[in-house]
């Protein structure tokens, strides 16, 4: 959702800024709904021509959150990562980033999204009652780390399956994190990271699905769809 990820055509830049004038399209990593924003040049990254505006806007939050989460979890080659809500925007990004690092990924999702996860290189599993047992069958060697993008039962399952609680990060249960000894996402979003994944998308090496693009005047409808908690990819607002 674009509540924290504005994007627009850069209308004016300070003369002499490196490469700022070589490409007419830029997108920002900051927070708001806006047609125009004033930001430091260090907070914007080039938008490749092959990256649609809807994707550019959505990536500013989803991809950065995913990489920061995996950095905090210290996900490495040969490990097994459990991603709850793997078909969402952060989950889809996390699956791909972890696979690029050489990790095995098990992703929870509704069955309608299982083929999507397989295409990304993940092993899909249906969430709900019995999830812990299903994951154990898929990963008899155990789960090294977990990314909770769903909260509630998902976090409980993560604690049950992961031996070291500091290798669990929740995107949802911030109020319980300290008490339970799990992580929340920490770190700074950067223009460098944003530009890096935009370039990968443009090269066909990274997928970032947009579920639906709403007009700004439809923002309330967009929020209602988000609140359902279901669906694949990012919801964005267009201006």
Task: Quick: pLDDT tens for 146-193.
Answer: 999 988 899 999 999 999 999 999 999 999 999 999 999 988 889 999
Q: Are residues 95 and 44 in the same domain?
A: no
Q: Are residues 73 and 165 in the same domain?
A: yes
Q: Are residues 80 and 150 in the same domain?
A: yes
Contact 162, 143 (CB under 8 A): yes
What average pLDDT does the segment 67-75 reach?
97
Rounded CA-CA distance 214/224 in Å is 12
Q: Are residues 121 and 226 in the same domain?
A: no
CA 154 from centre of chain:
17
The average confidence (pLDDT) of the chain is: 85
Is the pLDDT at 82 greater than 60, yes or no? Answer: yes
Angle at 46 between CA 42 and CA 52, to 5 degrees: 135
Q: Are residues 161 and 223 in the same domain?
A: no
Rounded CA-CA distance 190/44 in Å is 9
Is the pLDDT at 109 greater than 90, yes or no? Answer: yes
Q: Are residues 69 and 163 in the same domain?
A: yes
CA 74 from centre of chain:
16
How many structural domains are present in the chain?
2
Q: Are residues 198 and 180 in the same domain?
A: no
Tens-place pLDDT, residues 59-69:
888 899 999 99
Q: Are residues 53 and 124 in the same domain?
A: no
Q: Are residues 99 and 162 in the same domain?
A: yes
pTM exceeds 0.75, yes or no: yes
Q: Which of 150, 28, 130 is nearest to 88 (CA)?
A: 150
Q: Are residues 57 and 70 in the same domain?
A: no
Q: Are residues 35 and 124 in the same domain?
A: no
């Amino acid at each position: 959702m674009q509540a924290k990820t504005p994007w627009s055509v850069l209308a004016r830049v300070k003369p002499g800024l490196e490469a700022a004038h070589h490409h007419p399209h830029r997108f920002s990593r900051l927070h708001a709904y806006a047609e125009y924003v004033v930001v430091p040049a260090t907070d914007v990254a080039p938008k490749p021509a092959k990256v649609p505006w809807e994707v550019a806007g959505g990536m500013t939050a989803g991809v950065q959150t995913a990489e920061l989460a995996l950095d905090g979890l210290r996900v490495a080659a040969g490990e097994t990562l459990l991603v709850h809500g793997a078909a969402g925007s952060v989950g889809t990004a996390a699956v791909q980033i972890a696979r690029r690092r050489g990790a095995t990924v098990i992703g929870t999702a509704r069955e309608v999204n299982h083929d999507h996860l397989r295409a990304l290189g993940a092993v899909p599993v249906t969430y709900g009652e019995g999830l812990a047992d299903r994951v154990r069958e898929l990963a008899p060697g155990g789960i090294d780390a977990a990314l909770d993008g769903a909260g509630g039962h998902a976090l409980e399952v993560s604690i049950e399956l992961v031996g070291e609680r500091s290798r669990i990060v929740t995107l949802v249960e911030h109020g319980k994190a300290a008490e339970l000894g799990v992580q929340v996402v920490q770190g700074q979003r950067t223009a460098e990271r944003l530009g890096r994944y935009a370039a990968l998308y443009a090269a066909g090496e990274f997928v970032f699905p947009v579920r639906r693009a709403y007009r700004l005047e439809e923002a309330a409808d967009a929020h209602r769809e988000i609140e359902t908690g279901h669906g694949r990819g990012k919801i964005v607002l267009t201006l």
